[in-house]
Amino acid sequence: MAEETKKVEETVANTTPQVEETTAAKAETVATQEEEKEFDWYAYENDGYSEAKVAELNDIYDGSLNSIVEKTVIDGTVIQLTDKEAVVNVQYKSEGVIAINEFRYNPDLGLGDTVEVYVESLEDKYGQLVLSHRTARVHRAWEKVNEVLKTGEVITGFVKCRTKGGLIIDVFGLEAFLPGSQIDVKPIRDYDVYVGKNMEFKVVKINHEFKNVVVSHKALIEAELEEQKKVIIGGLEKGQVLEGTVKNITSYGVFIDLGGVDGLIHITDLSWGRVGHPEEIVTLDEKINVVILDFDDNKKRIALGLKQLQPHPWDKLDDKLSVGDTVKGKVVILADYGAFVEISEGVEGLIHVSEMSWSQHLRSAQDFLKVGDEVEAQVLTLDREERKMSLGIKQLMPDPWADIETKYPVESKHTAVVRNFTNFGVFVELEEGVDGLIHISDLSWSKKIKHPSEFCKVGDSMEVVVLELDRDNRRIALGHKQLEQNPWDVFESTFAEGTTHQGTIIDVKKDKITLVSLPYGVEGVCPKKHLRKADGSTAVMDETLDFKVIEFNKDAKKIVVSHLRTFEEGEDKPTTKSTGSRKPSNSGGANSSVKANNASNEKSTLGDLDALAALKSEMEGGK
CATH code, 117? 2.40.50.140
475 and 422 share one domain: yes
Average pLDDT over residues 104-122: 83
Please give the residue that has the higher pLDDT: either 619 or 269: 269
Q: What is the pLDDT of residue 491?
A: 82
Please give the residue that has the higher pLDDT: either 318 or 46: 318
Provide the 8-state DSSP code for 532.
B
Count Cα atoms within 13 angstroms, Cβ side, for 565.
19
Domain boundary among 221, 244, 275: 221
**pLDDT confidence of 448, banded at 50, 70, 90?**
confident
Average pLDDT over residues 115-130: 80
CB-based burial of residue 487 (10 Å sphere; 0-12 exposed, 13-18 middle, 19+ buried)? buried
Residues contacting residue 616 through CB under 8 Å, at least 6 positions apart = 487, 520, 521
Full 3-state SS string of 93-132: CCCEEEEHHHHCCCCCCCCCCEEEEEEEECCCCCCCEEEE
Average pLDDT over residues 546-555: 89
CA–CA separation, 306 and 346 (whole Å):
14
> Average pLDDT, whole number, for the chain?
79
CA–CA separation, 394 and 363 (whole Å):
14
Average pLDDT over residues 128-141: 82
CA–CA separation, 591 and 599 (whole Å):
13
510 and 581 share one domain: yes
Top-ranked range on mean pLDDT: pick from 55-64, 251-260, 442-451: 251-260
pTM over 0.85: no
Q: What is the pLDDT of residue 254?
A: 92
In this structure, is residue 25 part of a structural domain? no
- In the chain, the number of structural domains is 6
Please give the residue that has the higher pLDDT: either 431 or 605: 431
The answer to whether residues 530 and 513 touch, using CB atoms and an 8 Å cutoff, is: no
Q: In what order do the strands lie in the sheet with 114-121?
A: 96-99, 85-89, 73-81, 114-121, 130-132
Count of C-beta atoms within a 10 Å radius of residue 451: 11
321 and 297 share one domain: no
The answer to whether residues 167 and 181 touch, using CB atoms and an 8 Å cutoff, is: no
| Closest C-alpha among 507, 582, 506, 585 to residue 545 | 585
Least confident of 167-176, 368-377, 400-409, 564-573: 564-573
547 and 578 share one domain: yes
In this structure, is residue 229 part of a structural domain? no
Provide the 8-state DSSP code for 538.
B
559 and 595 share one domain: yes
Q: What is the pLDDT of residue 181?
A: 84
| Closest C-alpha among 273, 350, 267 to residue 313 | 273
pLDDT-above-70 percentage for the chain: 79
CA–CA separation, 263 and 9 (whole Å):
142
Q: What is the pLDDT of residue 550?
A: 92
CA–CA separation, 178 and 174 (whole Å):
13
Provide the 8-state DSSP code for 7.
H
In this structure, is residue 33 part of a structural domain? no
345 and 284 share one domain: no
355 and 378 share one domain: yes
Average pLDDT over residues 495-519: 87
Residues contacting residue 203 through CB under 8 Å, at least 6 positions apart = 145, 148, 149, 155, 171, 176, 213, 214, 215
119 and 106 share one domain: yes
Q: What is the pLDDT of residue 3?
A: 57
In this structure, is residue 37 part of a structural domain? no
Average pLDDT over residues 104-120: 84
Is the pLDDT assigned to residue 92 strictly greater than 90?
no
Is the pLDDT assigned to residue 547 strictly greater than 90?
yes
371 and 478 share one domain: no
Report the DSSP pairing between strands 198-207 and 212-216: antiparallel
The answer to whether residues 539 and 570 touch, using CB atoms and an 8 Å cutoff, is: no
The answer to whether residues 214 and 183 touch, using CB atoms and an 8 Å cutoff, is: no
491 and 476 share one domain: no
Average pLDDT over residues 50-64: 61
Please give the residue that has the higher pLDDT: either 228 or 476: 476
389 and 428 share one domain: no
Q: Please say whether the dihedral angle defined by the alpha carbons of residues 68, 72, 76 and 79, taken in this order, is positive or negative.
A: positive
Average pLDDT over residues 413-423: 89
466 and 526 share one domain: no
Domain boundary among 396, 417, 442: 396
In this structure, is residue 191 part of a structural domain? yes
In this structure, is residue 523 part of a structural domain? yes
Least confident of 108-117, 443-452, 602-611: 602-611
In this structure, is residue 97 part of a structural domain? yes
| Closest C-alpha among 232, 229, 236, 270 to residue 251 | 270
DSSP string, 267-301: GGGT-SS--S-GGGT--TT-EEEEEEEEE-TTS-S
Measured in whole angstroms, how far is the alpha carbon of residue 577 from the centre of its chain? 72
Domain that holds residue 456: 404-483
Is the pLDDT assigned to residue 413 strictly greater than 80?
yes
Is the pLDDT assigned to residue 410 strictly greater than 80?
yes
Is the pLDDT assigned to residue 16 strictly greater than 90?
no
Which residues lie across from 413 on neighbouring strands? 465
Least confident of 206-210, 229-233, 533-537: 229-233
In this structure, is residue 42 part of a structural domain? no
Domain boundary among 137, 167, 192: 137
Q: What is the pLDDT of residue 573?
A: 46
| Residue at 74: amino acid letter | I
Q: What is the pLDDT of residue 611?
A: 47
Measured in whole angstroms, how far is the alpha carbon of residue 362 from the centre of its chain? 32
